[in-house]
């Protein structure tokens, strides 16, 4: 059999004023044909799992198109049209396929389509042979839409956040595809959409309340007719009608059971909705708490969550640390101008820096006298499975500086989510030497930082990824919806 592979992944934060452009994809990943295999087959990504399973079964994988950009604003209209035109032109080139494996993100928004994934999956469905299966993966931060469900034969969300099981879920999707094309299975999918936005602070799958929710989902899998189920946590920073949490069930030729089980899973989420609301710790409360803990302590800067699209240059937490003159502290800030200033000063040069605070609502710059400890090209490799599934990273020209009070600042030229400790160790920073490590994220950094940090504190900082989503102004979300409307109702 010949199975095509298509991936389009970008998490779109509509609260960011700047758009995602084609250049953002070209900088991260934009590949066609065999270049898709070259870029992804050796990673921990779901597409790597698809290649592995197809090769293991002796079937032909036909790589078509793969594109990814780091989370940021909505995609420019011209950029999305160019991406989709390339995708479908490459699809035409490969000829007849027995099925297509897909890897959409599920929370992609453009200036023209609020539901980019529903749009391109629908177009894909119209272009493939009638009855050809379309099976794939979803990021659990997807905002699932009925259009996605209608277009796809089956969708499987990762079961971990931080996302450590992407490759495994890609293998699941490919094996389901193989059995479907061979006539062993007939997947039928159903979804349920409770009016619920799960707070990002509560989306760590190994912690409560998610841990119990996924245990409930695992218990459902005891039903032999259920092939796979998924909790879709949702991405609250896309202000679109599709925003929110959902549940998926895929059965073997039993649509009624699929809907029943999806409803039960959604009902569990709704029943426990109060547990999925945020608990917010202020900056001062977090620093006071951290002072009494044995380090290293990881402070998760939720309002400047680069993995959720933020600029990575917010300063409120760094300013508070600097004001308190706390020694043995570390923070990473994206500021290309400060990197250039450090390069001009040279290693062991000292000068006055104005760091960060360039983005919207990211606080004033941190002004400090600092010494340049090192200058680097910013490239590093992560061999272990980490959130995002990629192994090669490039944060651009990088400088490490240290203030007189002992605040170490890594300055990067490109926004880079803190998914890997190699981001530190490859640039001369030993994390165990610090009492406080600031990571600009919520849950994703935990997979890497748990190797050295004894404690994690999620800090309610301001910004375009603030965990306090009731402070954001939504114009397009559904109503009634929890937590905004506490009396919202969900009846199946």
Question: What is the full DSSP assignment across 217-281?
Answer: HHHHTTSTTEEEEEEE---TTS-STT-S-EEEEEEES-HHHHHHHHHHHHHHHHHTGGGGS---B
pLDDT at 389: 72
Asked whether the beta carbons of 110 and 12 are under 8 A apart, the reply is: yes
Cα–Cα–Cα angle for 164, 159, 70, rounded to 5 degrees: 55
Asked whether the beta carbons of 411 and 401 are under 8 A apart, the reply is: yes
Return phi, psi of residue 182, to 5°.
-80, 0
Q: How far is CA 152 from the centre of its chain?
A: 21
DSSP state of 406: S
The two tokens of residue 399 are 């400088």
The two tokens of residue 133 are 């299966």
Residue from 13, 1, 7 nearest 311 by CA: 13
pLDDT at 360: 65
Sheet order of strands, 29-32 included: 29-32, 60-68, 2-9, 99-104, 134-138, 154-157
Q: Each residue's pLDDT tens digit in the chain (492 positions)? A: 999 999 999 999 999 999 999 999 999 999 999 999 999 999 999 999 999 999 999 999 999 999 999 999 999 999 999 999 999 999 999 999 999 999 999 999 999 999 999 999 999 999 999 899 999 999 999 999 999 999 999 999 999 999 999 999 999 999 999 999 999 999 999 999 999 999 999 999 999 999 999 999 999 999 999 999 999 999 999 999 999 999 999 999 999 999 999 999 999 999 999 999 999 999 999 999 999 999 999 999 999 999 999 999 999 999 999 999 999 999 999 999 999 999 999 999 999 999 999 876 678 999 999 999 999 999 999 888 786 777 788 999 999 999 999 999 999 999 999 999 999 999 999 999 999 999 999 999 999 999 999 999 999 999 999 999 999 999 999 999 999 999 999 987
Asked whether the beta carbons of 140 and 231 are under 8 A apart, the reply is: yes
Q: How far is CA 387 from the centre of its chain?
A: 8
Whether cis (ω within 30° of 0) applies to the bond prior to 483 is yes
pLDDT at 361: 66
The two tokens of residue 343 are 């390069």
Q: Whole-model pTM?
A: 0.95
Name residue 381's beta-bridge partners: 392
Q: Which helix (H) or strand (E) holds 88?
A: helix 77-94
Give me the residue spans of the domains in the chain. Answer: 2-276, 283-467
The two tokens of residue 419 are 């998914």
The two tokens of residue 245 are 């949490």
Q: How far is CA 343 from the centre of its chain?
A: 32
CA 166/CA 384 separation, integer angstroms: 13
CA 486/CA 443 separation, integer angstroms: 26
CA 258/CA 175 separation, integer angstroms: 19
Q: What is the CATH number of domain 2-276?
A: 3.40.50.2300
CA 485/CA 470 separation, integer angstroms: 10
361: left (phi over 0), alpha (psi -120 to 50) or beta: left
Residue 25: CB atoms within 10 Å: 23
Q: How far is CA 113 from the centre of its chain?
A: 20
CA 138/CA 156 separation, integer angstroms: 6
CA 279/CA 459 separation, integer angstroms: 10
pLDDT at 388: 73
pLDDT at 362: 77
Sheet order of strands, 226-232 included: 187-192, 246-252, 226-232
The two tokens of residue 189 are 């999918």
Residue from 390, 384, 439, 383 nearest 410 by CA: 439
CA 255/CA 385 separation, integer angstroms: 35
Asked whether the beta carbons of 374 and 399 are under 8 A apart, the reply is: yes
Asked whether the beta carbons of 395 and 414 are under 8 A apart, the reply is: yes
Name residue 134's beta-bridge partners: 100
CA 170/CA 324 separation, integer angstroms: 47
Contacts of 486 (CB under 8 A, 6+ apart): none
């Amino acid at each position: 059999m010949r199975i095509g592979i298509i991936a389009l992944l970008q998490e779109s934060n509509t609260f960011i004023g700047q758009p995602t452009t084609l250049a953002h994809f070209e900088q991260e990943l934009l590949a066609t044909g065999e270049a898709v295999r070259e870029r992804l087959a050796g990673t921990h990504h779901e597409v790597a799992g698809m290649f592995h399973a197809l090769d293991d079964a002796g079937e032909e994988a036909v790589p078509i198109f793969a594109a990814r950009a780091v989370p940021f604003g909505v995609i420019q209209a011209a950029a999305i049209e160019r991406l989709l035109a390339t995708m479908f032109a490459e699809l035409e080139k490969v000829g007849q396929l027995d099925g297509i494996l897909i890897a959409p993100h599920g929370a992609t928004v453009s200036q023209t389509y609020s539901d980019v994934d529903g749009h391109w999956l629908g177009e894909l469905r119209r272009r493939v042979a009638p009855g050809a299966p379309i099976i794939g993966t979803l990021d659990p931060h997807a905002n699932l839409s009925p259009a996605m469900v209608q277009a796809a034969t089956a969708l499987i969300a990762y079961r971990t956040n931080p996302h450590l099981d992407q490759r495994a879920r890609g293998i699941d999707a490919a094996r389901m595809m193989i059995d479907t094309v061979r006539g062993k299975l007939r997947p039928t999918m159903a979804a349920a959409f409770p009016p619920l936005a799960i707070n990002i602070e509560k989306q760590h799958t190994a912690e409560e309340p998610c841990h119990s929710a996924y245990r409930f989902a695992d218990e459902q899998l005891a039903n032999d007719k259920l092939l796979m189920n998924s909790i879709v946590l949702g991405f609250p920073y896309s202000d679109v009608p599709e925003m929110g949490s959902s549940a998926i069930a895929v059965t073997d030729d039993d649509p009624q059971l699929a809907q029943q089980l999806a409803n039960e899973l959604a009902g569990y989420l709704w029943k426990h909705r109060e547990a999925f609301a945020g608990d917010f710790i202020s900056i001062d409360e977090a620093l006071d708490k951290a002072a009494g803990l044995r380090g290293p302590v990881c402070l998760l800067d939720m309002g400047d969550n680069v993995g959720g699209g933020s600029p990575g240059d917010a300063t409120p937490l760094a300013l508070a640390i600097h004001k308190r003159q706390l020694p043995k502290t570390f923070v990473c800030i994206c500021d290309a101008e400060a990197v250039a200033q450090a390069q001009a000063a040279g290693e062991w040069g000292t000068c006055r820096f104005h760091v960060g605070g360039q983005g919207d609502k990211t606080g004033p710059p941190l002004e400090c006298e600092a010494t340049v400890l090192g200058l680097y090209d910013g490239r590093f490799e992560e061999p272990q499975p980490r959130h995002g599934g990629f192994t090669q990273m490039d944060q651009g020209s990088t400088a490490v500086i240290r203030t007189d009070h002992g605040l170490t600042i890594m300055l990067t030229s490109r926004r880079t989510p803190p998914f890997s400790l190699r981001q530190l160790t490859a640039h001369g920073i030993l994390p165990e030497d610090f009492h406080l490590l600031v990571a600009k994220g919520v849950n994703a950094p935990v997979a890497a930082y748990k190797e050295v940090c004894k404690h994690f504190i999620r800090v309610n900082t301001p910004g375009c990824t603030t965990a306090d989503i009731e402070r954001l102004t939504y114009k397009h979300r559904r109503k009634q919806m929890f937590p905004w409307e506490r009396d919202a109702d969900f009846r199946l």
